[in-house]
Amino acid sequence: MTENYFEVLRPGINTTFQDNGRKNFYHIGIPFSGAMDNRNFVIANAISNNKKNSPVIEFALQGPKLRYKGDKVYFNVTGDVNFQILRKNKIEEGVCYQNLVLENNDCLDLISTNRSVYGYLSINASFKIDFYLDSCSVNTKAEIGANNGKILQKNQIIKIENITKKYSSNKLDYIISKIENIRVIKGPHFDYFSETAKELFFKEKFRITKLTDRMGIRLDGPKIENIKYTNIKSEGLVKGTIQITADGDPIVMLSDHGTIGGYPKIGVVISADYDKLVQIPPGSKIKFKEINLKDAETIYKLYEMETRNLISKIK
């Protein structure tokens, strides 16, 4: 039996194994984690004919360069990713959202994401990795999940097993949509802020700064003036919570966020806009738009329907 594996020639900036994340551990300080852009994660596994929650490799901005050793394996890349496959004597430009093949000694170079942040690599096989609390999702802060809770390291080996021999020509015509308006439901401390600040929050644009990662987005824009308490007694947070720091800057909690926090919550990003928000690269500007709970629920139903539709179009 031959061993099948990837050799990491370049790890990329922030490359991790992810699945759906882990539930039920907020109370001991462990967030969901999981693929940041859930839709692209789900689509990647659907194109691979994998089970819904199969582990994938998530990369951010600059992806990894991997040399493949072993039997022929099929893979696909989702997101808006610029990548190449280096075969014996030719370079092949990669196309997202379709099954492609890797043979012994081929190199997969996931060069970069285009005007977006996250991309996904799924294989028609399984990665030989560890699970922690029912999930492979890497949380580098708590050092848990696959790969000893670490991002990919240069020269490491990623073992692969259960290769599907049968080729499926699965592909999907899809381009991830870009948005600028992020819809937000008012948070429990909305009235801690001055009338002017509340107006500015929904009127002005905020720039996504470089202090942005899987834990959160730090925004830069007009200062949001607090007229009550700039600190609260620490309490739980959820994905998408927008806290205002004592300096008046908004920070948005993302999938690896600290489970509790002591800044007032001005609002929460609706579930349907989360996948799109995380894909907006640092340097871009966003605008918050107020929405009520009922509308947010309806929009989420539509968003899910749209995802199911996309999956049904894979052929």
Partner 1 sequence: MIKNISNLGDAALYCDFGNDVNREINLNVIQFFKNIKKSNIPGITNITPSYNKLIISFDLSITSFDKIKTEVEQLNFKNEIVNVGNLINIPVCCDNNFALDIKRLEKLLNLDKEEIYKKFFSKKYYCYMTGFIAGMPFLGDLDGSLHARRLDTPRVKVPKNSIGLTEQFCNIYTFESPGGWNIIGKTPLDIFDNKNNSSPNLINPGDTISFFQISKSEFEKKYD
Q: Does 24 bind partner 1 (CB under 8 A)?
A: yes
Identify which of residues 16 and 116 has a Cβ nearer to partner 1 in the complex.
Answer: 16
As a whole number of angstroms, the distance between CA 48 and CA 36 comes to 19
As a whole number of angstroms, the distance between CA 49 and CA 266 comes to 41
Identify which of residues 188 and 283 has a Cβ nearer to partner 1 in the complex.
Answer: 188
As a whole number of angstroms, the distance between CA 291 and CA 5 comes to 47
Identify which of residues 104 and 231 has a Cβ nearer to partner 1 in the complex.
Answer: 231
Residue 124 · residue 100 · CB < 8 Å: no
Q: Does 105 bind partner 1 (CB under 8 A)?
A: no
From the CB of 243, what's the least distance to partner 1, in Å? 12
From the CB of 226, what's the least distance to partner 1, in Å? 16
| Options 168, 174, 187, 213; binder of partner 1; rule CB under 8 A | 187
DSSP secondary structure string, the chain? ---EEEEEEE--SS-EEE-S---S-GGGT------SSHHHHHHHHHHTT--TT--EEEEESB--EEEEESS-EEEEEESSEEEEEEETTEEEE--TTB-EEE-TT-EEEEEEESSSSEEEEEESSEE----BTTB---BTTTTBSHHHH----TT-EEEEE----S----B----PPP-SEEEEEE-TTGGGB-HHHHHHHHHSEEEEEEEESSSEEEEESS---BSS-S----EE--TTEEEE-TTS-EEEE-TT--SEE-S-EEEEE-HHHHHHHHTSPTT-EEEEEE--HHHHHHHHHHHHHHHHHHHHT--
| Options 121, 270, 280, 286; binder of partner 1; rule CB under 8 A | 270
Identify which of residues 15 and 271 has a Cβ nearer to partner 1 in the complex.
Answer: 271
Selected range binding partner 1 among 7-15, 105-113, 182-190, 280-288, rule: CB under 8 A:
182-190
Q: Does 234 bind partner 1 (CB under 8 A)?
A: yes
Q: Does 266 bind partner 1 (CB under 8 A)?
A: no
| Options 101, 163, 185, 311; binder of partner 1; rule CB under 8 A | 185
Q: Does 150 bind partner 1 (CB under 8 A)?
A: no
| Options 258, 282, 285, 287; binder of partner 1; rule CB under 8 A | 258
From the CB of 73, what's the least distance to partner 1, in Å? 29
Selected range binding partner 1 among 73-81, 136-144, 169-177, 281-289, rule: CB under 8 A:
136-144
Residues in binding contact with partner 1, number by CB under 8 A: 42
From the CB of 199, what's the least distance to partner 1, in Å? 21
Q: Does 180 bind partner 1 (CB under 8 A)?
A: no
As a whole number of angstroms, the distance between CA 171 and CA 167 comes to 12
Selected range binding partner 1 among 57-65, 89-97, 150-158, 228-236, rule: CB under 8 A:
228-236
Q: Which residues bind partner 1 (CB under 8 A)?
A: 23-30, 32, 132-133, 139, 141-144, 149, 185, 187-188, 233-238, 240-241, 258-261, 265, 268-271, 293, 296-297, 300, 304
